[in-house]
């Protein structure tokens, strides 16, 4: 079976120092079963905001080919530069598909709505099944950033994307999402007719990513950036942008500082708000908030091995089940989380840690204190985190079932096309 994976966002296997994200884990399982994969990506890396070189054959596992479509750069995740980048990617994707031999099936990441629409149109033309893999609620996710009184303006500006979104979910018969909430959202976009295939496969984490090859070098890099392995570290991984509320964390850190002098808040990542939040922490005279910058896989693993808990301080789109929880869970870290919906139920009922109300400094401070003041509870969370990771959030618990579905969808369609020739 030969599949196309249409995703311009996730790191490629040839992107040195990158973590395994959804599509690398999916590729690994497809290749393990001897399928052929072509990954249609972009030459500009979303995660690092830098151009990548075309991968050499020896940088890719056997059975995987990569098509890099030329696009413009962008600096901010929200802005006209990114919209231009997306438009270029979709235009070049259409041309690439037109001149390529059809595959046995297509998995297209949503977003992008335009790319998903184009793949569905192509699939209908050539008789190839298309699976839409929903990882975010575009364009609704953009409205979350705006105050409710401005939603009508946002809907007006986003009218073309809403049109694309409606076409995608009305036309697709096969929908995979990263959370139950997203599946319900996709079904609401589609209308009363149920998807022929509707599945939830969490993003997950590849446990082989926990294995480090040079912990000493990674620790040296972390120490140079201000990391302190001997302290009680609450760690955050993510893009320092509008979706995350590091400002709330900094204010909570101010309350924690005097009472718990050995606690540190390690912030790993970069983004448009990093300078603002660093200035805020400096202005408050805080020594317990450390900005480590963007970390490659080795230092990131080492940081998590020397952490007490993982921080999910998200202010928008709190119904999702994201990469970060699974990554923290892989290292046995109790969670401090502002997520709502199904993942909040995991956190509170298993329990995996403590939930708090997004943007509420007192609520976050109380959650941190609860983990620090109740060692038995923290240890119980740690044990359940490890167990639930293996059961529900490990790549090995997710992607074999995902590929089972892809085989059932695509292989009969291949046989039908072969009989028709």
Q: What is the pLDDT along the chain (421 residues), one digit of tens a residue?
A: 999 999 999 999 998 867 789 999 999 999 999 999 999 999 999 878 889 989 988 889 999 999 999 999 988 777 788 889 999 999 999 999 999 999 999 999 999 999 999 999 999 999 999 999 999 988 888 887 788 888 888 888 889 889 999 999 999 999 999 999 999 999 999 999 999 999 999 999 998 766 655 688 999 999 999 999 999 999 999 989 888 999 999 999 999 999 999 999 999 999 889 999 999 999 999 999 999 999 988 899 999 999 999 999 988 655 567 788 999 999 999 999 999 888 899 999 999 999 999 999 999 999 999 999 999 999 999 999 999 999 999 999 999 999 999 999 998 766 565 555 5
Smallest CA-to-CA distance from 324 within 376, 377, 370, 269 is with 269
Domains 2-204+394-420 and 208-393 share a fold: yes
* Per-residue exposure over 345-379, b if at least 16 CB sit within 10 Å of its own CB, e if not: ebbeeebbbbbbebeebebbbebbbbbbeeeeebe
Query: In CATH, what number does 208-393 get?
Result: 3.40.50.2000
Domain ranges of the chain: 2-204+394-420, 208-393
Q: Which residues lie closer than 8 Å to 391 by C-beta, 6 or more apart? A: 397
Q: Which residues lie closer than 8 Å to 366 by C-beta, 6 or more apart? A: 356
**Cα distance between residue 69 and residue 90, in whole Å:** 9
Smallest CA-to-CA distance from 278 within 250, 243, 313, 311 is with 250
* 283: its two tokens: 């202005």
Smallest CA-to-CA distance from 301 within 206, 404, 210, 204 is with 210
Q: Is 37 exposed, middle or buried (0-12, 13-18, 19+ CB in 10 A)?
A: buried
Q: How many CB atoms lie within 10 A of CB 168?
A: 28
pLDDT in the model for residue 212:
57
pLDDT in the model for residue 75:
82
State whether the Cα torsion 98-103-104-105 is positive or negative. Answer: negative
**Cα distance between residue 221 and residue 17, in whole Å:** 14
**Cα distance between residue 373 and residue 378, in whole Å:** 9
**Cα distance between residue 418 and residue 192, in whole Å:** 34
pLDDT in the model for residue 375:
96
- HSE (side-chain half, CA atoms, 13 Å) at 120: 23
C-beta of residue 273 within 8 angstroms of C-beta of residue 246: yes
pLDDT in the model for residue 99:
97
Helix boundaries (H) for 260-374: 274-283, 297-305, 323-330, 342-349, 361-373
* 419: its two tokens: 């009989």
Radius of gyration (Cα) for the chain, nearest Å? 22
pLDDT in the model for residue 148:
85
pLDDT in the model for residue 207:
80
pLDDT in the model for residue 293:
95
pLDDT in the model for residue 123:
97
**Cα distance between residue 236 and residue 295, in whole Å:** 12
Helix boundaries (H) for 260-293: 274-283
* Per-residue exposure over 201-228, b if at least 16 CB sit within 10 Å of its own CB, e if not: bbbbbbbebeebeeeeebbebbeeeebe
**Cα distance between residue 268 and residue 358, in whole Å:** 20
Task: Identify the architecture of domain 2-204+394-420 in CATH.
Answer: 3-Layer(aba) Sandwich (3.40)
E strands, 166-305, where?
A: 174-177, 197-200, 232-237, 263-268, 289-293
**Cα distance between residue 356 and residue 363, in whole Å:** 5
**Cα distance between residue 323 and residue 342, in whole Å:** 15
């Amino acid at each position: 079976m030969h599949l196309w994976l249409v995703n311009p966002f996730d790191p490629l296997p040839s992107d040195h120092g990158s973590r395994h994200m959804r599509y690398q884990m999916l590729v690994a399982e497809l290749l393990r079963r001897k399928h052929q994969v072509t990954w249609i990506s972009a030459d500009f890396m979303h995660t690092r905001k830098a151009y990548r070189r075309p991968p050499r054959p020896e940088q890719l596992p056997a059975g995987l080919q990569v098509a890099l479509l030329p696009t413009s750069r962008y600096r901010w995740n929200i802005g006209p530069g990114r919209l231009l980048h997306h438009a270029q990617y979709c235009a070049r994707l259409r041309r690439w598909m037109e001149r390529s031999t059809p595959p046995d099936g297509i998995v297209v990441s949503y977003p992008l709505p335009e790319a998903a629409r184009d793949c569905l149109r192509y699939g209908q033309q050539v008789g190839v099944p298309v699976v839409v893999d929903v990882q975010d609620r575009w364009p609704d996710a953009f409205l979350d950033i705006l105050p409710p009184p401005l939603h009508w303006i946002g809907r007006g500006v986003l009218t073309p994307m809403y049109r694309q979104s409606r076409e995608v979910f009305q036309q697709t018969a096969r929908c995979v999402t990263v959370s139950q909430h997203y599946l319900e959202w996709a079904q609401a976009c589609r209308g009363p007719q149920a998807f022929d295939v509707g599945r939830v496969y969490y993003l997950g984490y590849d446990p082989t990513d926990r294995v480090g090859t040079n912990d000493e070098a990674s620790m040296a890099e972390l120490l140079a950036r201000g990391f302190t392995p001997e302290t009680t570290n609450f760690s955050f991984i993510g893009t320092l942008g509008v979706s995350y509320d590091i400002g709330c964390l900094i204010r909570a850190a101010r309350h924690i500082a005097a009472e718990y002098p050995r606690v540190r808040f390690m912030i790993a990542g970069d983004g448009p708000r990093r300078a603002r939040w660093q200035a805020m922490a400096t202005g408050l005279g805080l020594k317990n908030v450390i900005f480590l910058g963007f970390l490659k896989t080795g230092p990131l693993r080492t940081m998590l091995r020397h952490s007490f808990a993982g921080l999910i301080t998200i202010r928008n789109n709190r119904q999702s089940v994201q990469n970060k929880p699974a990554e923290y869970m892989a290292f046995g870290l109790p969670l401090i989380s502002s997520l709502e919906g199904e993942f909040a139920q995991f956190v509170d009922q298993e329990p995996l840690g403590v939930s708090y109300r997004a943007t509420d400094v007192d609520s976050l401070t109380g959650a941190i204190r609860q983990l620090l003041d109740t060692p038995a509870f923290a240890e119980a969370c740690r044990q359940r985190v490890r167990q639930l990771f293996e059961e529900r959030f490990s790549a090995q618990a997710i992607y074999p079932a995902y590929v089972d579905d892809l085989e059932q969808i695509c292989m009969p369609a291949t046989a039908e096309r072969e009989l028709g020739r």
